[in-house]
A and B are shown apart, each in its own frame.
Chain A
Amino acid sequence: MDRLLPRVLRVDLTRKRSWVEERPDLFRDRLGGTGAAIELLHELCPPGADPLGPENPIVFAVGALSALYPLASKTVALFKSPHTGNLGESHCGGRTAFALRLAGYGALVVEGRSDVPVYLSIHDGGVRFRDARTLWGMGSSVTVGRILRDVEPGSGHRTILRIGRAGERGVTYAAAIAETYRHFGRLGLGAVLGSKNLKAIVLSGRGAIPVAEMGRYQKLYRELHERAVRSDLMTKYHELGTAQNVGPLNEMGALPVRNLQATRYPEEPAFSGERLAQGYLGRRLACAGCPVACIHLAALREPHPAEPYFYKTTFVSYDHEPLYALGAMLGVEEAAGVLKLIDAVGHVGLDAMTAGVVLAWATEAFERGLISEAETGGVRPRWGDVAVYGEMIGRIADRESEFYRVLGEGVRAAAERYGGAEFALHFGGNEMPGYHTGPGAFLTYLSGARHSHLDSAGYAVDQDLLRRGEEIPPADLARRLLAEEARRQVLSSLVICFFARGLYDFPTIAACLGALGDDWDEGRLRNLGAEILRRKHAFKVREGFRLATLPIPERAVTTPAPGGAVNGTYLRRALAEMERWLEGSDELEG
């Protein structure tokens, strides 16, 4: 480990002060990333903290392999989530990880609350608190990015992380946006930044990272690079991107459509990966340090409403999850319509996934008469009506009325207030991801440290079991998912993109660390993964989370998945096993 990685940059917005702390314990013994960040969160976030109060810290962290090895390209953010009330964890690509590490820090911790809107300008070892009153309240986060790009230094080796209107106003699922097209999407980091009066962070870095054994490092780098560019990563993620999932999920009847009243479109959706690539793909981008380039930008060309013969071209980044949430869940038929909605949530700074599920709940609640035009302010949500959804996205971001304020807290809050809990698709307060594949997916959503489909990849286990025509007892499925999630804790400590999970098995990781002068082996890595997972669970429990008794939305178990309707008792048994393990000390088989 080099001497710069353990440096934690602490920024106190209340007192407008910053300082650096050395934490070799967190970066040597925990590898950095999520392993380090969860410890900082335990230390700095007081129990019962108000997620939107100054006492809620935000920890951004990179890890031992960041900016050194292929696909070690992500930054993790940990905070207490205003959306679920417990652990908030979100990962983001772009240039953030490079900038943070090459600025000479392993982590950035933001605490307190500024008295006036500010943004942080962090360059060459200095932290400046800059006036953001002019940027506050701006209609679009894209404009904010454009302005900062011009007034701030560091072009080519910086990250520009900012929030939109939704974050300023405390929508509990507001996102933070990096480099215009990457997001800390889920669990409300944008709202926490907004509550601190912090509009943006511009951070640049282009330093050197000394490497202990250069020969070994060069060789490993070359091998991993070759494997990455020759692997199926390129066809899986580069060609069509994650959008390639839309078609197959639709075909197998696992794509949640119209608030999961259905699980497929009769034909391949207009926004499938193939069809978007053919009709709209305008550019591919990579996160810094990644050869795969999975980021897909659609060029959306629309006639200008006021000027004849004038078209505006908007670039919209698309991925499976936003396409599911703002397309399938809302019954949208046109590719251009989905792209417009994805663009709209980006401008105001909302999490696309939660926004889609919220609008889907509202549409069904409106259909069933639980809410009326009195609540919606005269708009009539209707499946596929993109114009209405676009309007509602703006109103949610602006927290326009009592109704939109409640929608701005997610479907759990909306169902508590207006009814319709049976079709409010959230798991532990976080809205459903785009895989209705079976029990594995639901267990991942319920138990995952960040309630994300990527925590333990239950959707992949479901598909694997379906292919084999196998069923396994709930306790076995529970342990299989826990083992996968524990393994992923190591990846997100280093911090490696989960798409590269196939490249980095434990022996490879140990070799990568070895070239940097750090002595690790498979057993120690495995133990660390389990330990981090338990530390996260402990944080959640501390904040009132109980896994075994989490409600399971009725719609999720009544709408059949490809292997049939999911059995609630099966899920309960698996959850009990997960809780037992998370709160115990047994080992897991890998």
Chain B
Amino acid sequence: MAKRLAVVDVERCVDCLLCAQACARRFGEGGLARSAIAVRSAGGVERGFVVVVCRACDDPPCLHACPVGAIEKGPVGVRVVLDRCIGCKACVAACTIGAVGWDEEGGKPVICVHCGLCARFCPYGVLALEEVEGG
């Protein structure tokens, strides 16, 4: 059964960014340039955090927005066909929750592939892979 990355307990998030670092390591690099997950304060750190990551829409606006069909449905969420992508950022604008990241150097979108690596490094159980219905 396919699994989706979910933010399950955001109250425990401490803003350590280990999730974002783990995601970037998928590409064989350090830093955050190609991380598909971001953490922002909810208006001042004392109010807690917002973890921004793709939630694997059933009917993904990002996919519909792409003018060249570079975003396809994946087993869970979407896949970006980088060779087809023209770097127009239409997908970035289309995702209501801002979950389409941008790789400045490559000029291409970065979208979570729901691999779950970040959840393995989150020390506080904020993230988890969840079974997807009918996935």
Instruction: Return the contact of A208 from the options B29, B39, B123 (Cβ within 8 A).
Output: B29
**Residues B24 and A208 in contact, CB atoms below 8 Å apart:** yes
- Give bound CA distance, A207 to B44, whole Å: 24
Which of B13-21, B57-65, B68-76, B77-85 lies at the interface?
B13-21
Which of B2-10, B30-38, B86-94 lies at the interface?
B30-38
Verify if B45 is at the interface (C-beta below 8 Å from A). Answer: yes
- How many whole Å from A115's CB to the nearest CB in chain B? 33
- Give bound CA distance, A180 to B43, whole Å: 12
Verify if B105 is at the interface (C-beta below 8 Å from A). Answer: yes
**Residues A289 and B45 in contact, CB atoms below 8 Å apart:** no
Verify if A344 is at the interface (C-beta below 8 Å from B). Answer: no
**Residues A214 and B16 in contact, CB atoms below 8 Å apart:** no
Size category of the A interface is 35 or more
Verify if B25 is at the interface (C-beta below 8 Å from A). Answer: yes
- Give bound CA distance, A149 to B18, whole Å: 23
Instruction: Return the contact of B45 from the options A70, A180, A290, A291 (Cβ within 8 A).
Output: A180
In the complex, the chain B residue whose C-beta lies closest to that of A157 is B32
Which of A240-248, A280-288, A535-543 lies at the interface?
A280-288
Map CB proximity to B onto A356-397 as digits: 1 under 8 Å, 0 otherwise: 000000000000000000000000000000000000000000
Verify if A179 is at the interface (C-beta below 8 Å from B). Answer: yes
Verify if A229 is at the interface (C-beta below 8 Å from B). Answer: yes
In the complex, the chain A residue whose C-beta lies closest to that of B32 is A206
**Residues A209 and B21 in contact, CB atoms below 8 Å apart:** no
The residues of A that contact B30 with a CB separation of less than 8 Å are 67-68, 208-211, 217
Instruction: Return the contact of A211 from the options B29, B33, B52 (Cβ within 8 A).
Output: B29
- How many whole Å from B108's CB to the nearest CB in chain A? 14
Map CB proximity to A onto B98-126 as digits: 1 under 8 Å, 0 otherwise: 00000011000000000000000101100
Instruction: Return the contact of A180 from the options B25, B35, B44, B52 (Cβ within 8 A).
Output: B44
**Residues A207 and B32 in contact, CB atoms below 8 Å apart:** yes
Verify if B134 is at the interface (C-beta below 8 Å from A). Answer: no
Verify if A218 is at the interface (C-beta below 8 Å from B). Answer: yes
Verify if A161 is at the interface (C-beta below 8 Å from B). Answer: no
The residues of A that contact B25 with a CB separation of less than 8 Å are 214, 217-218, 221
Instruction: Return the contact of B17 from the options A217, A225, A289 (Cβ within 8 A).
Output: A289
**Residues A284 and B105 in contact, CB atoms below 8 Å apart:** no
**Residues A285 and B45 in contact, CB atoms below 8 Å apart:** yes
**Residues B31 and A282 in contact, CB atoms below 8 Å apart:** no
**Residues A208 and B105 in contact, CB atoms below 8 Å apart:** yes
Verify if A297 is at the interface (C-beta below 8 Å from B). Answer: yes
Instruction: Return the contact of B123 from the options A180, A207, A291, A315 (Cβ within 8 A).
Output: A291
- How many whole Å from B112's CB to the nearest CB in chain A? 16
The residues of B that contact A290 with a CB separation of less than 8 Å are 16
Map CB proximity to B onto A199-215 as digits: 1 under 8 Å, 0 otherwise: 00000001111110010
- Give bound CA distance, A148 to B39, whole Å: 18
- Give bound CA distance, A157 to B35, whole Å: 12
List A268-289 residues whose CB lies under 8 Å from chain B.
282-289
- Give bound CA distance, A328 to B43, whole Å: 33
**Residues A286 and B14 in contact, CB atoms below 8 Å apart:** yes
The residues of A that contact B44 with a CB separation of less than 8 Å are 146, 149, 180
With contact pairs A214-B28, A282-B46 given, residues A289 and B34 touching in the complex (Cβ less than 8 Å):
no
- Give bound CA distance, A211 to B27, whole Å: 11
The residues of B that contact A284 with a CB separation of less than 8 Å are 14
- Give bound CA distance, A229 to B41, whole Å: 24
Verify if A523 is at the interface (C-beta below 8 Å from B). Answer: no
- Give bound CA distance, A583 to B93, whole Å: 62
In the complex, the chain A residue whose C-beta lies closest to that of B40 is A156
With contact pairs A155-B40, A179-B45 given, residues A285 and B15 touching in the complex (Cβ less than 8 Å):
yes
- How many whole Å from B92's CB to the nearest CB in chain A? 15
- Give bound CA distance, A295 to B45, whole Å: 11
Verify if A76 is at the interface (C-beta below 8 Å from B). Answer: no
- How many whole Å from B95's CB to the nearest CB in chain A? 16
**Residues B18 and A291 in contact, CB atoms below 8 Å apart:** yes
In the complex, the chain B residue whose C-beta lies closest to that of A221 is B25
In the complex, the chain B residue whose C-beta lies closest to that of A210 is B29
Verify if A181 is at the interface (C-beta below 8 Å from B). Answer: yes
In the complex, the chain B residue whose C-beta lies closest to that of A150 is B43
- Give bound CA distance, A157 to B18, whole Å: 13
- Give bound CA distance, A146 to B46, whole Å: 12
Instruction: Return the contact of A283 from the options B34, B40, B46, B104 (Cβ within 8 A).
Output: B46
**Residues A286 and B33 in contact, CB atoms below 8 Å apart:** no
- Please name 26 pairs of A and B residues whose Cβ atoms are closer than 8 Å in the assembled complex, sorted by A: A102-B32, A155-B40, A156-B40, A156-B52, A157-B32, A157-B38, A207-B31, A207-B104, A208-B24, A208-B29, A208-B30, A208-B105, A211-B29, A214-B25, A217-B25, A217-B30, A218-B25, A283-B45, A285-B15, A286-B14, A286-B15, A286-B16, A289-B17, A289-B21, A293-B124, A295-B14
Interchain residue pairs A-B with the least CB separation, the first 6: A209-B30, A286-B16, A315-B46, A208-B33, A293-B14, A291-B123
Query: Which residues of B are at the interface with A, using a C-beta cutoff of 8 A?
Result: 14-18, 21, 24-25, 27-35, 38-41, 44-46, 48, 52, 104-105, 121, 123-124
Given contacts A149-B44, A180-B46, A315-B46, 15 further A-B contacts (CB under 8 A): A155-B41, A156-B40, A156-B52, A207-B33, A208-B32, A209-B29, A214-B25, A214-B29, A225-B121, A283-B48, A285-B14, A285-B15, A288-B16, A289-B17, A291-B16
